[in-house]
Each structure stands twice: as structure tokens, then as C-alpha cells.
Amino acid sequence: MYIDLHTHKINPHENLIAVYSTLPDHFPENHPENWLISAGIHPWLCNKDDFAEACDVFETLPETPGLNWNRDYDLAMRQWLEKLEQLAANNKIIAIGEIGLDRVHNKDMETQNTMFEAQLRIAEKYNLPVIVHCVRAFPEILSLRKIYHKTPWIIHAFRSNVEIAGQLIGHDCFLSFGEALLKSHELQMLAKVIPLESLFLESDQSELPIEELYAGTARIMSLDLSCLQLNIIKNFKKVFFQQK
Ligand SMILES: [Zn+2]
């Protein structure tokens, strides 16, 4: 059994449980049973001054076809937060995300921070784990983790260094790796020392089959594939179903 911690594609596969990440107003009503859903307002959209531009970018992504949002920032955010809270209250989602901070794709850090915190409060209110997107904002993420620590956080597409990894794990965060792990020597060095109980794997937007990511990771970590799979299943149950 494979667990894909974060994907934007619905691609049925019987040996796979996937967490499909979407926007609050793009919830897929018909999805395979083994596709679990997380929803959140992506940090790229949390941009007050260039909201129209951020929408333009999103509307052309393959995973959000046919979107046509209004360009009123305040109205859009209010509606998305309401929708997100409804999904959480009605047990439609198993996590909030991806949400977070991105210093490279969006310069409006203040708005990103406001929206991130608004969504973290929803996660804590409904006891939901959080799938975090973080690009060059780890000090801010760590400070917020100290305030919002009631539910697990998983840092998706982790690509930073061993020091940041250690600090995040020290604050009970999980790290999820994607295809970049198979290409980066630095990430491979990190994978050799990261505790197995803090690890997830994900496809995100990659075309690489998840089986190949697992096989490559098992090789890097000098583990049997089945041992890697069992550990990730254990982490999955712990984070999403609160099983020890
Ligand atoms: Zn993603």
C-alpha cells in the first residue's frame, strides 16, 4: 500500500491512498473512496494588491480548469474562509492545506500571514492536521508553530536543510518529500538521517509514478520498500486518525 501525502491529481489506483489537495470552492463531489481531501487557500492567492494576477495564474493551472473567480479580494477571501469552515464542520476534509507562506512567488507577506493564521484557527477549532507550503519563510513558520501546536503539521515538498529539518521535527512537524528528493544530493543526505516517524512522500504535481518515488527513497535510505511503506502507513494513521 502506498500513501501519497499531497497530490493535485485524481488518478485512481487500488494500492494507493492519496490526499488530494484543493481549493475550498473546488471540492470534488465525486472522488474515489481512497482519495481523501484536504482544502485550503493557497498562499499564492493571498495577495491583496495583485489578487487579479494571482487568480489569472491559478485559472490556467491544469488542476483548476474552468475557474472564473471574481477579482474582489475581500469578498473572495470571506467566501473561501466560510466555505473552508463548512467543509471542516461537515467532515468533508481530513486536513487543511495546502496553506502557508511563500516569499518567492508572493511578496505580500502580511496578507499571507493573516490568511495563514485564519486557516490555522479553523484547523485547531476542528482538530484537523495542516499541510504546509513554505518557501523561504521557515523562521516565520517556526514562530507560528509555537502558537498553533494543537494539531500535526506536515511540511509538504520539503526542500530546505538539515538544520531547519531538525527544528521543525523538534516542534512535532512531519516532512514530506517529492520528486526533488531523487535529484538533490543535499536532500538525499537529509533523508539518511531523518527519523522514519517524521517522514511522508508525495507526488504533488509530478508525473513520476508514486511507486518510483517510494523505490528511489527506499534505496537512498537503505531500507526495504515494505519497511518504508509500513512506516509511512503508521505515520498516516497517527496524523490523520490519531492512532498510536
Ligand atoms: Zn501542491
Share of the chain above pLDDT 90, in %: 83
pLDDT at 65: 65
Tell how far the Cα of 102 is from the centroid of ligand 1, in angstroms: 12
Output the nine-digit C-alpha cell for 57.
Answer: 495564474
Quote the crossing angle between the two packed helices 109-125 and 138-147, to the nearest 10°: 30
Tell how far the Cα of 7 is from the centroid of ligand 1, in angstroms: 6
Tell how far the Cα of 8 is from the centroid of ligand 1, in angstroms: 6
Four-residue CA torsion sign, 100, 103, 105, 109 = positive
Tell how far the Cα of 78 is from the centroid of ligand 1, in angstroms: 22
Domain boundaries, given as residue ranges, for the chain: 2-241
Mean pLDDT value across residues 171-199 = 97
E runs forming strands in 54-121: 95-102
Tell how far the Cα of 218 is from the centroid of ligand 1, in angstroms: 23
pLDDT at 236: 97
pLDDT at 243: 67
Measure CA of the first residue to CA of the last residue in the chain; give whole Å. 19
pLDDT in tens, 42-61: 999 999 999 999 998 888 88
Mean pLDDT value across residues 17-22 = 94
Task: Say how far apart CA 129 and CA 119 lie, in whole Å.
Answer: 11
pLDDT in tens, 120-146: 999 999 999 999 999 999 999 999 999
- Specify whether the CB–CB gap between 73 and 46 falls below 8 A: no
CATH superfamily for 2-241 is: Metal-dependent hydrolases (3.20.20.140)
